Amino acid sequence: MAEPRLAVRRRNRSSSERKRSRAPVQPIAASSPVARKRPSPGGEGPPAETPGSNDSDEDMFGDYDSFYENDSLIAQVDDIEHKYLQDKNMDVKAAGEVVLGNLQSGVHQKEQDNFSASTNVVDLKSDKEGACQMCDSDSAAGNQELTESILDDLPSSQLLYFEKRDELSSATRTSPVLKGRDEPVNSSLDKVRDPLSFCAGAEHRNRPTDSSSHSKCVLFKTESLKDHLKSAMTGNARAQTLQVSKTKQLKEAVLSEEMFVARKAIESSSVDIGPFYGLPSKVKDLFRQLRGIETLYEWQHDCLMLESLQQRKNLIYSLPTGGGKTLVAEVIILQELLCRQKDVLMILPYVAIVQEKVWIQGLSSFGIELGFLVEEYAGSKGRFPPIKRRVKKSLYIATIEKGHALVNSLIETDRIDDLGLVVVDELHMLGEGSRGAILEITLAKILYTSKKTQIIGMSATLNNVGDLQKFLQADYYTNNFRPVELKEYIKIRDTIYAVDSNTENGFVFSRLLNFKYSSNLEKADPDHIIALVTEVIPKYSCLIFCPTKKSCENVASLVCKYLKKEFRAHREKEKQDLIKNLKSIGNGTVCPVLKQTIPFGIAYHHSGLTNDERKSIEETYSSGVLCLLACTATLAAGVNLPARRVILRSPYVGNDFLKKNQYKQMIGRAGRAGIDSAGESILIVQEKDKHLVQDLVHSPLENCYSNLLLELTKGMQSLLLSLVGLKIAVTHEEVDNFMCCTLLGVQQQLLSKEKSLSEIIKDGLENLIEKGLLKGRISEKEHNSKSALTITPLGKATYKGSIDLAYCNLLYRELKKGLEGLVLESSFHLLYLSTPYDMTFTCSPDWMIYFRQFNQLSTAERKVADIVGVPESFITKKASGQAIRKNVDNAVVNRLYLTFVLYSLLKETNIWSVSEKFNMSRGYVQNLLSSAASFASCLLHFCEELEEFWVYKALLTELTKQLTYCVKTELIPLMEVAGVLEARAKQLYNAGYKTLAHLANANPETLVRMIEHLSRRQAKQIVSSAKMLLNEKAEALQEEVEELLKVPTDIPGTH
């Protein structure tokens, strides 16, 4: 068995098989058969013609006369033919049967000895499929399908030759002599067309012969079978070519064959798993074309060849940031989709990363080329349960919350086994608050309900791996590989120290800063940021991580203020284009700080930017137009933007001291693979923090602990409710058994010291019964009570809508109250109901703005304020600074204020103008809009489960769409395409691209010419995303049609 390699692996033939009378030609998978038959330029010429050769025409094939690169094959045919022709008493047709039978067996023997993607795939596929079909030769329908599939794979010239042959044979039926000359060749061709005739036609061949058969026998004796085969092949070569791309046909045949081989290899768990880790070589080509990846790192190869992956065990693997973890996951995902034909779920921590994975990293392009669907589950996007595809498989790319809802819907519809693989990026998120609790719940449900679903987890920052291994029942792989060496430094005053764990205090002197500071500059920049930055920019890129959003803007302004004017000349035109682009995004307005800093190649990056602005800044930084970004810590965990040098402005994030995990994430951005020879990080430290930083740099990573107990309503109680609702566990005993499969179950001795886990479960179930979400009784004396619990309609609506249990009863009351007097003159009342509860804590109303907005409401809209409990008098007194005696719920007041913001957004569809009107950052307004769209989607699912709220369904469907895109109606079809935001949608619409079909069928080159500031890469991504979305919609409609036309199996009177 061949040793697998990083490149496309082929099994080499033995030296005896490779011997030729001329120089060997290297086989190539996708080359044409004729090309392989030619002698190599430097090889020997064809040998002299052998005596006795009676070829009347020029021999086009020289001495290379085998379909399967075995020059002894036709010699065997000659030997067998002469042997049987010497026996005068043998029936000639029986001789033909033996000859062709031996020919067939020779071919299959060759397949077994030398099965490789580099052989003639078209011929190989025909024989392989023919061999499979022979096992079921009793099925006539199978034979017909086989013939059709073989005809599909034959070259166009051969197809035309068959047509010509049929015409000739029908025209010359009256001429016995001509018929006698033609039919031997045709009969051999029939056997090429239908491999089953080699054995299944035996009965036909043994029938008594007539006079025409006699003439065939005479010709069969007098002419060599070798001549007939050569004659047929010559005819094929000379036949007129159909107007079909031969290259395309060959490529399709290669892809189809390699996928068949890969699937078989995966099923057999063989070590030699085919061309590219069990995948078609086209996958390797796509990684080269779309990502520029030529070869895999050694660790990636080792990881993909792990025994645990071959046996489909769960796996956790950990490497430093930038080590190439994602590529390994993508290869495993493609194996699952293409070879095992199962759906895959990929869980990512943030919406921005989901969109990047779908759009920027081109998984949509992979889907279009390889025939699977990519579905985005983020924000308000995603269908529950997902459409059940009959043919194509789906890759679901989801946030943590949407991934949980998706898994719930698959369990509920008994489709969890359709999910062959779950991949979790940033597995350390298990230990981070409510989102960690939701991720733990999701993985525990998969482990408990499906024994066929494999789980792969990856992270750069894992410590207590043993607990995670026990929780996920997984093997572990780790490696310290980084494609670019990372050098860590800290700076105290004007001295830079290298981090060295071998020294006593952990630091060793490196150098002094060589930069002359004036007294004014020293006051403005006491941390010497300008000195550190100018050592690398503009030639190389640099990131400065700052503790707050305001600090980001201040640092960007400071640096450009003291830079020399020469910095403005670096790629000046492209920087001016960026400012124009930002101006169009802001409808004529650009942030004053960005307007000042961008000419120097500097920008800030934090959550205060809109999605459009962030994307534009990220793209220009990646292309080298911007050389310095001042950013918050969220960029380290979010978008992948590496740099030559990373500077940490302070060892704090907000007011909290830096954690080791955060530190590792930030410095991990230093060093760009393929560009930099090394990356360096510099942490700026004040003398007072020196000892804290020593501990930080040399301490281990933080442990990952379960958050199910800390996050009660989103953790433990939410889990208990959905367990009963999904019927995973409906008794106290069953719930106890399930909890042993959670991370909390593994760590219960550490986390639940005061109460046992069983007692915590009992308290949780009783609390849910009190809230009216569950029905049943928990026995006081017997913990392992076997009395079954059931879920109430409100409980079912709560878990299916992914509603926080802290708000479910309040939400129900507000919706019920709305039914009594829902104001439908505008969307204001519905918007209030769709405003997320958790955003109210971050809101501080400006009372004068509140008062002005209230006065602009119509009489009907003012009733909404009264219904929800915010009287006009309260707002008036607040605005005028008067004392308030009446108690009003602050959460309701703040929620109504946010509703005014959303109402203005829907009317104006301009984040810039709304953020100025309410004196809020545009990033906050954007976040409010995204959260409202997501909550409206949850609210819709909540109402779908409660019959009494039927009226809300249609209203919320439309509102969710408006909040998701917040643009004019005509732009919504374009905004559905991943990567197309409002500014780009306007450009496309104005250029005439008004529908999804327009984009899916667009020429990327034409898009680049017509759309300003659109790169060729972006144009290709937009087109591929549009094609993927169009395919999804078409597939969904087709599935619906097939479902409608399907004949029911339980029609009365049919049995």
Residue 683's SS3 state is strand
Confidence band of 229 (pLDDT split at 50, 70, 90): low
Q: How far is CA 323 from the centre of its chain?
A: 19
Mean pLDDT value of segment 472-488: 94
375: β partners: 396
- Distance between CA atoms of 195 and 188, rounded to whole angstroms? 11
User: What pLDDT score was predicted for residue 112?
Assistant: 43
Which of the two residues, 424 and 83, has the higher pLDDT score?
A: 424
Q: What pLDDT was estimated at residue 269?
A: 44
Q: How far is CA 666 from the centre of its chain?
A: 24
**Cβ–Cβ < 8 Å for 460, 423:** no
Q: Where does the pLDDT of residue 361 fall: very low under 50, low under 70, confident under 90, or very high at 90 and above?
A: low
Residue with tokens 């998978």: 29
Instruction: Name, in order, each residue with C-beta under 8 angstroms of 987's C-beta and a sequence gap of 6 or more.
Output: 1011, 1012, 1014
Q: pLDDT band at residue 295, thresholds of 50, 70 and 90?
A: very high
Map residue 653 onto helix, strand or coil: strand
% of the chain exceeding 90 in pLDDT: 50
Instruction: Identify whether the C-beta of residue 769 lies closer than 8 Å to the C-beta of residue 761.
Output: no
Confidence category of residue 114, pLDDT binned at 50, 70, 90: very low
H or E segment to which residue 499 belongs: strand 495-499
User: Is pLDDT at 129 greater than 60 in this prediction?
Assistant: no
Residue 138 DSSP SS3: coil
pLDDT of residue 69: 42
Q: Which of 170-184, 493-507, 894-908, 938-952 shows the lowest per-residue confidence on average (mean pLDDT)?
A: 170-184
Which of the pair, 1042 or 466, is modelled with greater confidence?
466
Please give the Cα distance from 192 to 473 (Å, whole number). Answer: 52
- How do residues 1028-1053 score in pLDDT, each as one tens digit? 899 888 888 888 888 888 888 888 88
The answer, yes or no, to whether residue 994 has pLDDT greater than 90, is yes
Average pLDDT over residues 239-245: 50
**Per-residue pLDDT, 503:** 84
Strand 314-318 to strand 474-478: parallel, antiparallel, or no bridges (unpaired)?
parallel
pLDDT at 222 over 50: no
Q: What are phi and psi of 29, to 5 degrees?
A: -55, -45
Q: Which residues pair with 495 in a beta bridge?
A: 492, 512
**The pair of three-digit structure tokens given for residue 982, joined into one six-digit string:** 């409002």
Q: pLDDT-derived band of residue 147, with 50, 70 and 90 as boundaries?
A: very low
Mean pLDDT along residues 545-559: 94
- pLDDT of residue 331 exceeding 90: yes
pLDDT, residue 360, reads: 66
Model confidence at 770: pLDDT above 60: yes
Range of 234-238, 564-568, 766-770 with top mean pLDDT: 766-770
Angstrom distances, CA of residue 792 to CA of 157, 771, 809, 988: 68, 10, 13, 49
Q: Helix 225-238 to helix 176-193 angle, to the nearest 10 degrees?
A: 80
pLDDT confidence bin for 780, thresholds 50/70/90: low
- 653-to-225, 282, 431, 631, 663 alpha-carbon distances in Å: 83, 45, 18, 11, 10
Phi, psi dihedral angles at 283 (to 5 degrees): -65, -45
166-175, 321-330, 472-481, 610-619: range with lowest mean pLDDT? 166-175
- Provide the pLDDT for residue 84: 53
Average pLDDT along the chain: 79
If you average pLDDT over residues 710-738, what whole number do you get?
Answer: 93
**pLDDT tier at 65, thresholds 50, 70, 90:** very low
**Mean pLDDT across the stretch 890-894?**
94
Q: What is the mean pLDDT of residues 749-762?
A: 85
Q: Please, are residues 62 and 113 in contact by the beta-carbon 8 Å criterion?
A: no
Residue 208 has a pLDDT of 42
Name residue, tokens 């203020």: 561
Instruction: Please determine, for residue 784, whether its predicted confidence score (pLDDT) is greater than 90.
Output: no
What is the predicted pLDDT for the residue at 397?
96
Rounded to 5 degrees, φ, ψ at 137 are -70, -10
Q: Is residue 495 scored above 80 in pLDDT?
A: yes
Q: Return the DSSP state at 448.
A: H
pLDDT at 17: 41
234 vs 201, more confident: 234
Average pLDDT score over residue span 248-262 = 70
The per-residue pLDDT for range 178-188, each reduced to its tens digit, is: 334 344 434 43
Give 213 or 904, the one with higher predicted confidence.
904
> In the block, which residue shows the tokens 């990056």?
605
Residue 14 has pLDDT above 60, yes or no: no
pLDDT of residue 323: 87
pLDDT band for position 355 (cuts 50, 70, 90): confident
User: pLDDT at residue 457 above 60?
Assistant: yes
Which tens digits make up the pLDDT trace of 813-844?
Answer: 999 999 988 899 999 999 999 999 999 998 99
Query: Once rounded to an integer, what is the mean pLDDT over residues 430-438?
Result: 93
pLDDT of residue 444: 98
By residue count, the chain amounts to: 1055
pLDDT confidence of residue 357: 84
pLDDT tier, 238 (very low <50, low <70, confident <90, very high otherwise): low
DSSP notation for 700-769: PPPP----TTTSTTTTHHHHHHHHHHTTS--SHHHHHHHHTTSHHHHTHHHH-SSS-HHHHHHHHHHHHH
Residue 184 confidence (pLDDT) = 40
Neighbour count for residue 31 (Cβ, 10 Å): 16
Output the pLDDT for position 271: 35
| Position 998 confidence tier, pLDDT thresholds 50, 70, 90 | very high
Cβ neighbours of residue 373 under 8 Å, at least 6 residues apart? 367, 389, 392, 393, 394, 395, 1028, 1031, 1032, 1035
How many other C-beta atoms lie within 10 A of the C-beta of residue 325? 21
| CB contact at 8 A, 843 and 920 | no
Summarize the confidence of residues 473-477 as an average pLDDT.
Answer: 97
pLDDT at 402 exceeding the cut of 90: yes
Q: Is the pLDDT of residue 528 over 70?
A: yes
> What's phi and psi for 508, nearest 5 deg?
-135, 140
Residue 148 pLDDT greater than 50, yes or no: no
Which residues is 602 bridged to in the sheet?
628
Of 76, 84, 78, 147, the residue nearest 105 (C-alpha): 76
Per DSSP, what are the bridge partners of residue 775? 790
**CA dist., res. 681 & res. 768, Å (int):** 50
pLDDT score recorded for residue 198: 35
Instruction: Report the relative pairing of strands 652-653 and 628-631 from DSSP bridges.
Output: unpaired
Q: What is the pTM of this model?
A: 0.73
Concatenated DSSP letters for 162-203? HHHHHHHHHHTTT-HHHHHHHHHHHHHHHHHH-TTHHHHTHH
